[in-house]
A and B are shown apart, each in its own frame.
Chain A
Amino acid sequence: MYNEINSNKRRSVLLMTIFIAIIIGLGYVYSMAVGDTLYGGVWIAIIFSLFSTAISYFHGDKIALWTSGAKPITQTDNPYLYRMVENLSITSGTPVPKIYIINDPAINAFATGRKPELASVAVTTGAIEKLANEELEGVLAHELSHVKNYDIRFMTLVAVLVGSISILSHIFLRSRFLFGRRSNDRGGDAGAIFMIIGIVLAILSPLIAELIKLAISRRREYLADASGSLLTRYPEGLASALEKIAAEKMPMKQASTATAHLFLANPFQGKSLSKLFSTHPPIEERIKKLRTMGV
């Protein structure tokens, strides 16, 4: 378990470094493409990348909660949920996270934050209403394992940084088409080559980011399923919760590709996109693994 925590911390640093490098690289290519000898693009890229890394590290959890429309609750708002989280936190030996509710009939949940002391867990109203006691407990235990393993730090960073890469490449593409022609005349052949590279990079970078996201989150989900079951000692609870989600096939109202991998189950359930870019292992596979655990 401690290996997992360290590797998550290492990956977080690595991710931030790669992100800064990609953005500065994009800025450089952009400067070359427009024939800007003062490297204005590079400076803007440096400032932008440092800013967005800092923001996603310190405020990524708030951004993720805000984009999913989660509302904070206290013990009196929903003592049932609150106590369940409290008890599971005692079992796992982590501080009680802040608890949020997302007003959505689909069954889902996610955890975010930079470290266990500052973690937040969000659950949909659908999950609270449709899941039985031990099913919800299984779901929450899965989320708390993400908290304990520092998965939340890494996954939140991925969410926000990947989001900003795609925003940036949008800007990049648009500006090429808007101002491209004039600078191209001045830049000559070199400018044209860089322009092509720039466009390719702009198209590729969100795709690369997407692929990184896929590779990292599948194994993570299996691991959280396993250590969550170790908390409740009842893998069947989570298994039957996942079964309900699979049977329902209900997409979430406020789902975004940037935050999809934070959730317990793919928020794009039943949409064709879910098969193409699936951030989660197939639910059937997860259920099968949980059933064979048999504590």
Chain B
Amino acid sequence: MTPTYIVLAVVVVLVLWLIMMYNGLIRSRNQVDEATSDIDVQLKRRYDLIPNLVETVKGYMTHERETLVKLTEARTAAMATSNNPQASLADKERAENQLSGTLKTLFAVTENYPELKASQNFLQLQDEISDTENKIQAARRFYNGNVRDFNTKLQVFPTNMFAGMMHFTKYDFFQAAEAERANVKVQF
């Protein structure tokens, strides 16, 4: 009689442990997904600001058509990648970095247009955009923190033996989130 109870108790404990582990993993995975949508909020803000910027700049910058076309293209490409559910994190990152790069080029070129630098509207937009870039970095770092927590939960023993069976896979980090930081600051 007693051995049956012991076996029963062990099974119950094991099942309870599995349930807790599963729920814990789900909770952290939802946190990662939430962090992803936080990044998207900031990216969306940047997409919305760019057409305004192009409109403002167009009147002043007569010789820079090409830069503006490149910027618009980069925005369209980034939006397409962002909306594509199949795109990997690395793809999205590349598209967004491309956009950041063209923005940087544009702001560098504006140095040649004193009237533009005097425009209140332009200065405000420039300020808004660089603020958004900082916020994108901040949101990415929050994402990275959550991914770190989730991946750790997934990879520690003994969770790692069951996680694969339950179709949990580890998430990727944003690689450039830290390195890019220094560049963004220079714009001020």
Contact A83 B142 (CB under 8 A): no
Tell me which residues from 83 to 105 in chain A have a Cβ below 8 Å from any Cβ of chain B.
83, 86-88, 90-93
- Known contacts A133-B185, A233-B141, A90 near B135 by CB under 8 Å: yes
Are B178 and A87 in contact, with the CB atoms below 8 A?
A: no
Contact with A along B125-148 (1 / 0, CB 8 A): 001000100110111011001100
Contact of B138 among A79, A91, A133, A230 (CB under 8 A): A91
> When the two chains form their complex, are residues B135 and A86 in contact, meaning their CB atoms are under 8 A apart?
yes
Q: A83-B131, A83-B134 are in contact. Are A91 and B185 (CB under 8 A)?
A: no
Closest residue to B139 on the A side, CB-wise? A90
Contacts of B139 in A (CB 8 A): 90-91
Check A91 against B141 for contact (C-beta < 8 Å).
yes
Name the contact of B178 in the complex, choosing from A83, A86, A93, A233 (C-beta under 8 A): A233
Task: Report the minimum CB–CB distance from A171 to chain B (whole Å).
Answer: 49
- Across chains A and B, the number of contacting residue pairs, with CB separation under 8 Å, is 32
Q: How far is the CB of B28 from chain A (nearest CB, A)?
A: 12
A203 to B105 alpha-carbon distance, docked (Å): 69
Q: How many residues of chain B have a CB within 8 Å of chain A?
A: 18
Query: Given the interface contacts A83-B131, A83-B134, A233-B141, does A90 sit within 8 Å of B178 by beta carbon?
Result: no
CA distance A83 to B133 in the complex (A): 12
Docked complex Cα distance between A239 and B134 (Å): 22
* Chain B 104-133 interface mask (CB, 8 Å, partner A; 1/0): 000000000000000000000001000100
Contact A87–B142 (Cβ < 8 Å): no
Interface of B is mostly: helix
Q: A87–B35 contact, CB under 8 A?
A: no
A133 contacts which chain B residues (CB < 8 A)?
185, 188
Looking at B134, B139, B141, B178, the one whose CB has the most chain A CB atoms below 10 A away is B141
> Which of B127, B134, B135, B142 is within 8 Å of A93, CB to CB?
B142
* Interface residue ranges of B61-91 to A (CB < 8 Å): none
- With A83-B131, A87-B135, A133-B185 in contact, do A92 and B178 touch (Cβ < 8 Å)? no
Which A residues touch B178, using CB under 8 A? 233
Taken together as a complex, chains A and B put the C-alpha atoms of A39 and B185 apart, in Å, by 66
B96 in the interface (beta carbon within 8 A): no
Known: A83-B131, A83-B134, A233-B178. A90 touches B185 (CB 8 A): no
| A66-95 at interface with B (beta carbon < 8 Å) | 79, 83, 86-88, 90-93
Instruction: List the A residue with the shortest CB-CB distance to B42.
Output: A90
B58 to chain A, nearest CB (A): 27
Q: Which of B138, B185, B188 contacts A88 (CB 8 A)?
A: B138
- B38 contacts partner chain A, Cβ-Cβ < 8 Å: yes
Which of A79, A86, A91 touches B142 (beta carbons < 8 Å)?
A91
Q: Distance in Å from the Cβ of B135 to the closest Cβ of chain A? A: 6
CA distance A90 to B132 in the complex (A): 12
Pairs of residues from A and B, 10 with the lowest C-beta to C-beta distance, nearest first: A90-B138, A87-B138, A91-B138, A91-B141, A91-B142, A93-B142, A87-B134, A90-B139, A83-B131, A87-B135
Residue numbers of B with Cβ under 8 A of A are: 35, 38, 42, 127, 131, 134-135, 137-139, 141-142, 145-146, 178, 181, 185, 188
Can you list 14 A-B pairs with a CB-CB distance of less than 8 A?
A83-B131, A86-B135, A87-B134, A87-B137, A88-B138, A90-B138, A90-B139, A91-B138, A91-B145, A93-B142, A133-B188, A231-B141, A233-B178, A233-B181
